Amino acid sequence: MKLRRTFTLLLCTALLIAAVGLSGCFRSLPNEATGTAPAESQSYSMPTAPDMPTVSLPTAPAVTTEIPTVTLPPVSEIPTVPTTVPPVTVPPTLPPASEVPTTAAPQPMPETWTKAQIVQFVTNAVNLTKSYTGPLTVDQQQKFTFNIETISPNIPLVKNFAQSVIDGVLKGSQETLTFNGGYATTSEGETIPILLPKRQAFVLPEAGVASAAAHQSGSNVIVDLTLVPEYGTLSSFPPYNSGSIGYLNADSLDISLFTIEKFDVSYSGSTIRFVIGANGYVLSADYNTPVVIDASGKVALVSGGFKSSGASTESWVLHW
């Protein structure tokens, strides 16, 4: 909001005095068996044995059947046999479960992560944080620095005046925001979500990252990302910056006095630092977007343009 108003003022002022300014704002994209019966038996007549002589056998002696009596001792005198088997003590071969160390494989340290792993880790953390709908207090700071390098027509007085407008307005801001339902309203009346970009989820392909590094800091993970250089115009936007931070645009101007003919923005390599807690939520975020702006416009028959370089920086500290 402040950045857009500043460039609008600069553009109006400069064009009206034969120079041109520009206006822009950072925004984000609406981006499984049978058997047989036995044969009938036959009867046979055994032949009669011839008469055999009679044989007399001696008489066997009588067998004594009397069994001697065996006297057993009384039952009370019979020793008893113990029926209780003493317990067998088996020495333990394993320590108690409480003393057995866990066998889970250790997680690789962030310092060993690939760029793809870092980008995925950040994407999950940022979108998890952006989806939080409970109460949340955030300290936010914004700073802008823009220096006019050239101006056309080349009138020193106009250049100095335009630069003074920028320096006077872009003083930055610092405020504490209270988020509920995932959104907060700034002191300028702008409704913003938790973290950038402002109008979409965090989307950053690996191809958009020039370098990525992560390291452990206590229970937190600190991630540093540098985006690849890219370019935006009046009719196009930088896909990687727009999906992760935001981008400058001039299509939201509501000024009928002049026409913007060119609005080229070079992004030389935006950087982001995230501090992510053990629970996966972002604890802080620092964004830095260096740009070079080349713009021109016209008021009636008066044309002009200028080129400027600078950067937009934002710092977020989330108090969970």
pLDDT at 282 over 80: yes
List the structure tokens of 127. 């979108």
The arithmetic mean of pLDDT across residues 69-98, rounded, is: 56
- Under the banding of pLDDT at 50, 70 and 90, the label for residue 36 is very low
- Report how far Cα 223 is from the mean position of its chain's Cα atoms: 13
For the chain, how many helices (H) and strands (E)?
A: 4, 13
pLDDT at 301: 76
Per the DSSP assignment, residues forming a β-bridge with 147 are 309
Q: What is the pLDDT of residues 168-193, one digit of tens each?
A: 877 789 999 999 999 999 998 999 99
Q: What is the pLDDT of residues 121-172, one digit of tens each?
A: 999 999 999 999 999 999 999 999 989 999 888 888 888 888 888 888 777 8
pLDDT at 26: 38
What is the C-alpha to C-alpha distance for residues 19 and 13, in angstroms, rounded to an integer? Answer: 8
pLDDT at 195: 98
Q: Tell me, yes or no, if the pTM score tops 0.75.
A: no
pLDDT at 24: 34
pLDDT at 76: 62
Q: What is the pLDDT of residues 256-277, one digit of tens each?
A: 667 888 889 999 999 999 999 9
What is the C-alpha to C-alpha distance for residues 210 and 256, in angstroms, rounded to an integer? Answer: 40
- Report how far Cα 179 is from the mean position of its chain's Cα atoms: 22
pLDDT at 258: 73
Residues 6 or more apart whose CB falls under 8 angstroms from that of 209 comprise: 115, 119, 225, 226, 227, 228, 240
How confident is the prediction for the chain on average, in pLDDT? 78
The arithmetic mean of pLDDT across residues 287-313, rounded, is: 89
- Under the banding of pLDDT at 50, 70 and 90, the label for residue 43 is very low
pLDDT at 304: 84
Q: Which of 238, 246, 308 is nearest to 272 (CA)?
A: 246
Question: pLDDT: is 47 or 194 the higher one?
Answer: 194
What is the C-alpha to C-alpha distance for residues 188 and 30, in angstroms, rounded to an integer? Answer: 21
**Phi/psi class of residue 182: alpha, beta or left (left: φ > 0; alpha: ψ in -120 to 50)?**
left
The arithmetic mean of pLDDT across residues 78-84, rounded, is: 56
Q: Which of 60, 35, 233, 248 is nearest to 144 (CA)?
A: 248
Cα-Cα-Cα-Cα dihedral sign, residues 260, 255, 245, 310? positive
**Phi/psi class of residue 301: alpha, beta or left (left: φ > 0; alpha: ψ in -120 to 50)?**
alpha
pLDDT at 103 over 60: no
Share of the chain above pLDDT 70, in %: 64
In one-letter notation, the amino acid at residue 81 is: V
Per the DSSP assignment, residues forming a β-bridge with 17 are none
pLDDT at 83 over 90: no
The arithmetic mean of pLDDT across residues 5-13, rounded, is: 54
- Long-range pairs, 153-158, Cβ under 8 A, ≥24: 153/18, 153/19, 153/304, 155/18, 155/19, 158/14, 158/17, 158/18, 158/19
pLDDT at 54 over 80: no
On the question of a cis peptide bond just before residue 238, with omega within 30 degrees of 0, the verdict is: no
Q: What is the pLDDT of residues 64-76, one digit of tens each?
A: 555 556 565 565 6
Q: What is the DSSP letter of 222?
A: E
The arithmetic mean of pLDDT across residues 84-110, rounded, is: 58
